[in-house]
Amino acid sequence: MTKSNARLPRLEDVAERAGVSHQTVSRVINNHPNVSKATRERVEAAVAELGYRRNTAARSLVTRRSQTIGVLASELSQFGPANTLLGVEQAARNAGYFVSIAALKSVSREAIFDAVRHFMDQSVDGIVVSVPHSDTLLALAELQVGVPVVAVGSLGNDAVSGAMVDQTRGAELAVGHLIELGHRRIGHVAGPQDWIDGVARAEAWSAALRAAGLEDDLLMTGDWSAGSGYEIGRKLAAERTATAIFVGNDQMALGLLRAFNEAGVRVPDDVSVVGFDDQPESGYFTPPLTTVRQDFEELGRRCIDLMLTAIEDGDSVSSTVVAAELVVRRSTSAPG
């Protein structure tokens, strides 16, 4: 047989060469988590040796799957939602899936329903919901979608799987760090309280202080922007009621630092400041910001792992939590 007439290697050929079932080869190709390292390496070696390439169109005909995942997203001007979307999109692409994105200007019930109907018209294999408002899950509960749904930023519910960064533990790390330094008057600049993350961080701040026998009466609410942090910072600088501030995100912390600097409040000598997110710029604030890091790349991987499991197993619903990490820099110290 001449090379030009030779057939292309098939999935079954890879399975035979690797000594595994074709289902195992499919799981490796689709980056399914439930495959041992040794088996994965054996299958990948067979793929490379045979020069196997997946025929997505043919596979879609056989499996009746589109190899497309719909992603419902909003608030993409904010650091957290934007980087969550990037993490999900990268993980989906690595797993061999296309991503169809519906970016919502509002999170109304009608807008959510329209986006879901759009995804179903595209015959998506599953839907990732990266919308940070609690009302979104309530709206999804009214729909009989017919495909797996994974919520990012939530543990989900009985019908929807969930993947989230541990917001509560992240806030506990921030407040615990300040308490260990010796601070006893610790305020909180919270994010909007219609955001899941904003509520979780504020509640964890309050609980951590009460557990330590400290007052939780220094609560202020911003809108995630540096501007709102700046305005709150001006008030705090005038009142001088706290020796430390836990800020709900790094952008508000940036505005707070600017206000303190203008008022002659020294950070961390007079007031310690902790943020949340660990934006790439946070290490270059003045002073470099102590903050809580969220691993959005890992969050994306966990989300797509849940999606692949649900696609393979049908009605599988589960949740996963990504650990948060405290990054200590020069904006915190013992009270003067």
Check which CATH number belongs to the domain holding 206 and give it: 3.40.50.2300
Residue 202's pLDDT is what?
98
- Residue 101 carries which side chain, given as an amino acid letter? I
| Percent of the chain topping pLDDT 90 | 61
Residues 117, 210, single domain; the answer is: no
Residue 61's pLDDT is what?
39
Question: How many structural domains does the chain have?
Answer: 3
- Domain with 218, as residue range(s), is 167-294
Compute the Cα dihedral for 126, 69, 80, 220 and give only its sign.
negative
- Is residue 333 domain-resident? no
pLDDT at 217 over 90: yes
Q: Is 59 buried (19+), middle (13-18) or exposed (0-12) by CB count in 10 A?
A: middle
CATH number at residue 23: 1.10.260.40
Q: Could you read off the pLDDT of 22-47 as tens digits, one per residue?
A: 778 877 876 677 789 899 889 889 88
Output the pTM of the full model: 0.80
Residues 116, 233, single domain; the answer is: no
Averaged pLDDT, 228-243 = 96
- Is residue 220 domain-resident? yes
- Is residue 59 domain-resident? no
Residue 330's pLDDT is what?
98
Query: Tokens 């904003």 appear where?
Result: 198
Structure tokens at 21: 């079932």
- Is residue 327 domain-resident? no
Q: Could you read off the pLDDT of 295-319 as tens digits, one per residue?
A: 999 999 999 999 988 888 766 788 9
Highest-confidence segment of 29-43, 81-95, 127-141: 81-95
Residues 300, 160, single domain; the answer is: yes
- Taking the C-alpha atoms of residue 9 and residue 22, their distance in angstroms, rounded to an integer, is 13
Averaged pLDDT, 100-112 = 86
Count the Cβ atoms, other than its own, within 10 Å of residue 292.
27
Highest-confidence segment of 36-45, 89-98, 119-128, 182-191: 182-191
Is residue 5 very low, low, confident or very high in pLDDT (cuts 50, 70, 90)? very low
Residue 4's pLDDT is what?
39
Residues 150, 175, single domain; the answer is: no
